[in-house]
C-alpha cells in the first residue's frame, strides 16, 4: 500500500515515495496526497423576519459556534497576484464557476449573471496547504472542486471567493492486487479509474450515472452511491482512509489496515461534508475482483407493490444483486420497455462465480412469483443507456425558455416506500412529467429516485413550479420518515430542510465545523451552511 506522509514524523515540505506498478515515483505528496449554520429549518425567526448575524451569534453562543461569515472579506485587487505566488501564474484564473444544479442553470437562462471566482489549480499538498493558510489569514472562502457534476448547488462560489480545482492531483498511486487496495489522488476521474482497474481484472464497483464527469474527491464530498451499490456498497463502504489538508494547512494521513478500533473512524466525517471541513487530496479505496459471470433479466409486474416485495425478498434472502432497478408504470414506458400498460419492469442482474450467479438468478425468478419474464433484453437495454443523462444532455433539456427538469432521490424503509411514491408523484407532477424508479436496495429499504419536469409560460412561472415540486417532495419525505437525500447531497437545493432531518445531529455538525474550521473559510454552502 502506498504510504502517506505522517505529520508526526515528516515535515510537510518533505517528499515521500510510493511504488506504483513497480515504478518508484517520488511524490510531492506531502505535496500531493499524502458559512453560517442554520438557526431554524427555514432560516427565519418565528415572526418570519430576517435574523441579523449578531442575533444568530448570540443564539448559538451556547454551542460555542464562532461565526465569521458576515466578516469574511471580499477579494482584494492583490489577491490574484498573491495566489499566483503560491501556485504559479498559469494556475490562477478568474471566471464563473458552478455545478449542474438545475435552478442555477435556469437562473442563468433568465438573465442572472453568475459571479466570478478566483480558480486556483494546485499540483500538490504543499500548494493546497499554502492556499488554505492564505485564505485563513485573509478570511476568504474556499470551495474544493472536482468534476463539477453535482446537482445540488454545493459548488456555487460568491464573487471574490476561491475555488480550488483539484484536477491536477490526478494520479493513481498504487493498485495493490493482493490486498485489493487502490491508492489515488482526489482529482482522478471516476471513469478513468474504473477503466484502469478493469485492465487488471478489478473494479471499484462505483457507477453513478454521472461517472464520466466525476472525480474521486467529488464522490467523497457528496457521499455518492452508484448503480451497483446493492452489491458493492456506496462510497463510504469503499473508503478505507483519506488524506486531508485541514483549513489551517495541517495534514491528516490515512490510517493503516482494513479496519481499526483505535478511536472513531474520523475520516468518515469528510464523506458528505461537501468540502465544508477541509480539502480531500487523496484516498485509499477498497476494490474488488471483476465477477466471472453476470446474469441479467427483466420481469414485468402488474403493480408496483409486487415489484417492491420482490426486491425486499431478494435482499433479505442474502442475495446481493449487481443491479436491481424497479421502474414504476410511467418510468417503464418512458424508458422504452415494451410491456402492457400499467406494468412495472424490474431489471435485475446477479454476478460472481458462474455457478453462484446462475443459482442466484434462479432464486430471483422464484421471488418474482407471478411476474412475467422478459428475458435478457431489459438488462441489455439498461446497459446501453446507463450513462445517458450526461451534463450536456441536462443542459440541453434546460435550454428552452421556461423549461425545468430535475431529480430527487429519497430513501425509506420497505413499509414506507409505496406511500412515499403515492405522496411524492402528484407533488412533483405540477409540470406533467413525473417518473420514479427504485434502486440502491438494502435489507431495510431502498432509494426512490424521482424525475420531474415541465415548462412554464415564463421564467417566473417555471421557477415557481420547480420550487413547488421540491417543497412537496421534501415535505412528504420528512413526514413519512424518509431521508431527504440518498446520494446527491445537500448543497443549496436541500438547505431549507437539512436541519429538519438531522435534528440534534445538526448541533454536532456545527460543533465539528467550528472546531475544524473556526474561521469559516471552507465551502460556506456545504450541508445547508448558507441557511
Q: Determine how many CB atoms are found less than 10 A away from the CB of residue 274.
A: 27
Q: Determine how many CB atoms are found less than 10 A away from the CB of residue 114.
A: 15
Instruction: Give residue 72's pLDDT.
Output: 54
Instruction: Give residue 75's pLDDT.
Output: 62
Q: Determine how many CB atoms are found less than 10 A away from the CB of residue 139.
A: 15
**Domain 391-488 in CATH 3.30.300.330:** yes
Report d(CA 499, CA 488) in Å as an integer. Answer: 17
Report d(CA 422, CA 478) in Å as an integer. Answer: 14
Q: What is the pairing mode between strands 293-301 and 372-375?
A: antiparallel
Q: What is the CA radius of gyration of the chain?
A: 23
Report d(CA 214, CA 198) in Å as an integer. Answer: 17
Instruction: Give residue 36's pLDDT.
Output: 32
Report d(CA 215, CA 217) in Å as an integer. Answer: 5
* Helix or strand (DSSP H, E) at 95: strand 92-96
Asked if 172 contacts 18 with a C-beta cutoff of 8 angstroms, the reply is: no
Instruction: Give residue 256's pLDDT.
Output: 79
DSSP3 helix / strand / coil % (the chain, rounded to 5): 35, 20, 40
* CA distances in angstroms from 47 to 276, 475, 530, listed in the order given: 30, 21, 20
Do 1-34+73-218+235-255+270-290 and 391-488 share a fold? Answer: no
Return the HEC string of 123-172. Answer: CCHHHHHHHHHHHHHHCCCEEEECCCCCCCCCCCCCCCCEEEECCCCCCE
Q: Which residue has the cell 451552511?
A: 529
Asked if 56 contacts 42 with a C-beta cutoff of 8 angstroms, the reply is: no
Helix (H, G, I), strand (E, B) or coil at 389: coil
* CA distances in angstroms from 304 to 240, 313, 344, listed in the order given: 37, 14, 6
Tell me which architecture the domain covering 1-34+73-218+235-255+270-290 has in CATH: 2-Layer Sandwich (3.30)
Spell out the per-residue pLDDT of the chain, length 531, in tens: 565 443 333 333 323 223 233 222 222 333 333 333 332 223 333 333 333 333 333 333 333 333 333 345 556 778 999 999 999 999 999 999 999 999 999 999 999 988 999 999 999 999 999 999 999 999 999 999 999 999 999 999 999 999 999 999 999 999 999 999 999 999 999 999 999 999 999 999 999 999 999 999 999 999 999 999 999 999 999 999 999 999 999 999 998 789 999 999 999 999 999 999 999 999 999 999 999 999 999 999 999 999 999 999 999 999 999 999 999 999 999 999 999 999 999 999 999 999 999 999 999 999 999 899 999 999 999 999 998 877 788 888 899 999 999 999 999 999 999 999 999 999 999 888 999 999 999 999 999 999 999 999 999 999 999 999 999 999 999 999 999 999 999 999 999 999 999 999 999 999 999 999 999 999 999 998 854
Report d(CA 199, CA 196) in Å as an integer. Answer: 5
Q: Determine how many CB atoms are found less than 10 A away from the CB of residue 130.
A: 18
For the entire predicted model, the pTM comes to: 0.86
Q: How many residues does the chain have?
A: 531
Q: What angle do CA 379, 383, 389 make, to 5 degrees?
A: 125
Q: Which residue has the cell 473512524?
A: 265
Instruction: Give residue 395's pLDDT.
Output: 84
Instruction: Give residue 53's pLDDT.
Output: 37
Q: Going by C-beta distance under 8 Å and a sequence separation of 6 or more, which residues neighbour residue 428?
A: 408, 434, 450, 452, 469, 472, 473
Report d(CA 189, CA 216) in Å as an integer. Answer: 6
Grid coordinates in use for 355? 455457478
Residue boundaries of the structural domains of the chain = 1-34+73-218+235-255+270-290, 293-324+346-385, 391-488
Instruction: Give residue 73's pLDDT.
Output: 55
346 strand-pairing partners: 299, 326
Report d(CA 411, CA 249) in Å as an integer. Answer: 37
Q: What angle do CA 454, 457, 459 make, to 5 degrees?
A: 85
* CA distances in angstroms from 346 to 309, 316, 349, 377, listed in the order given: 11, 17, 10, 12
Instruction: Give residue 74's pLDDT.
Output: 57
* Helix or strand (DSSP H, E) at 502: helix 498-502
Amino acid at each position: 500500500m502506498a504510504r502517506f506522509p505522517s505529520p508526526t514524523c515528516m515535515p510537510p515540505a518533505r517528499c515521500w515515495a510510493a511504488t506504483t506498478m513497480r515504478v518508484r515515483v517520488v511524490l510531492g505528496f506531502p505535496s500531493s496526497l499524502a458559512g453560517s449554520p442554520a438557526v431554524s429549518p427555514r432560516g427565519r425567526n418565528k415572526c418570519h423576519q430576517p435574523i441579523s448575524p449578531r442575533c444568530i451569534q448570540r443564539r448559538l453562543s451556547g454551542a460555542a459556534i464562532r461565526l465569521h461569515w458576515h466578516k469574511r472579506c471580499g477579494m482584494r485587487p492583490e489577491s490574484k497576484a498573491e495566489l499566483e505566488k503560491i501556485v504559479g501564474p498559469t494556475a490562477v484564473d478568474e471566471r464563473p464557476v458552478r455545478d449542474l444544479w438545475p435552478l442555477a442553470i435556469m437562473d442563468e437562462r433568465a438573465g442572472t449573471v453568475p459571479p466570478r471566482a478566483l480558480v486556483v489549480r494546485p499540483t500538490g499538498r504543499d500548494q493546497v496547504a499554502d492556499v488554505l493558510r492564505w485564505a485563513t489569514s485573509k478570511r476568504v472562502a474556499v470551495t474544493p472542486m472536482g468534476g463539477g457534476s453535482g446537482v445540488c448547488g454545493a459548488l456555487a462560489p460568491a464573487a471574490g471567493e476561491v475555488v480550488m480545482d483539484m484536477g491536477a492531483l490526478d494520479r493513481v498511486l498504487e493498485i495493490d492486487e493482493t490486498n485489493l487496495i487502490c491508492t489515488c489522488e482526489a482529482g482522478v476521474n471516476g471513469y478513468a479509474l474504473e477503466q484502469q482497474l478493469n485492465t487488471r481484472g478489478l473494479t471499484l464497483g462505483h457507477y453513478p450515472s454521472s461517472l464520466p464527469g466525476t472525480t474521486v474527491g467529488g464522490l467523497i464530498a457528496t457521499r455518492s452511491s452508484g448503480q451497483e451499490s446493492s452489491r458493492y456498497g456506496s462510497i463510504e463502504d469503499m473508503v478505507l482512509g483519506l488524506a486531508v489538508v485541514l483549513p489551517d494547512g495541517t495534514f491528516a494521513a490515512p490510517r493503516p489496515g482494513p479496519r481499526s478500533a483505535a478511536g472513531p473512524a474520523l475520516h468518515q466525517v469528510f464523506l458528505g461534508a461537501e468540502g465544508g471541513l477541509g480539502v480531500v487530496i487523496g484516498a485509499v479505496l477498497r476494490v474488488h475482483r471483476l465477477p466471472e459471470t453476470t446474469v441479467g433479466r427483466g420481469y414485468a409486474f402488474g403493480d408496483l407493490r409486487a415489484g417492491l416485495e420482490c426486491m425486499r425478498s431478494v435482499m433479505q434472502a442474502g442475495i446481493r444483486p449487481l443491479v436491481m432497478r424497479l421502474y414504476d408504470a410511467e418510468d417503464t414506458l418512458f424508458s422504452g420497455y415494451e410491456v402492457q400498460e400499467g406494468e412495472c419492469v424490474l431489471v435485475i442482474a446477479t454476478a460472481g462465480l458462474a455457478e453462484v450467479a446462475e443459482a442466484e438468478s434462479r432464486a430471483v425468478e422464484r421471488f418474482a412469483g407471478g411476474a412475467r419474464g422478459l428475458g435478457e433484453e431489459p438488462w441489455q437495454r439498461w446497459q446501453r443507456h446507463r450513462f445517458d443523462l450526461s451534463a450536456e444532455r441536462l443542459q440541453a433539456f434546460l435550454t428552452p425558455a421556461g423549461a425545468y427538469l430535475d431529480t430527487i432521490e429519497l430513501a425509506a424503509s420497505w413499509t414506507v416506500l409505496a406511500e412515499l411514491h403515492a405522496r411524492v408523484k402528484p407533488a412533483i407532477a405540477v409540470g406533467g412529467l413525473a417518473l420514479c424508479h427504485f434502486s440502491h436496495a438494502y435489507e431495510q429499504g431502498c432509494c426512490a429516485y424521482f424525475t420531474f419536469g415541465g415548462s412554464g409560460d415564463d421564467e417566473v412561472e417555471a421557477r415557481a413550479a420547480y420550487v413547488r415540486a421540491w417543497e412537496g417532495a421534501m415535505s412528504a419525505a420528512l413526514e413519512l420518515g424518509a431521508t431527504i437525500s440518498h446520494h446527491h447531497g445537500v448543497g443549496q437545493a436541500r438547505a431549507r430542510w437539512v436541519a429538519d432531518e438531522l435534528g440534534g445531529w445538526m448541533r454536532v455538525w456545527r460543533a465539528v465545523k467550528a472546531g475544524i474550521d473556526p474561521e469559516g473559510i471552507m465551502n460556506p454552502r456545504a450541508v445547508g451552511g448558507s441557511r
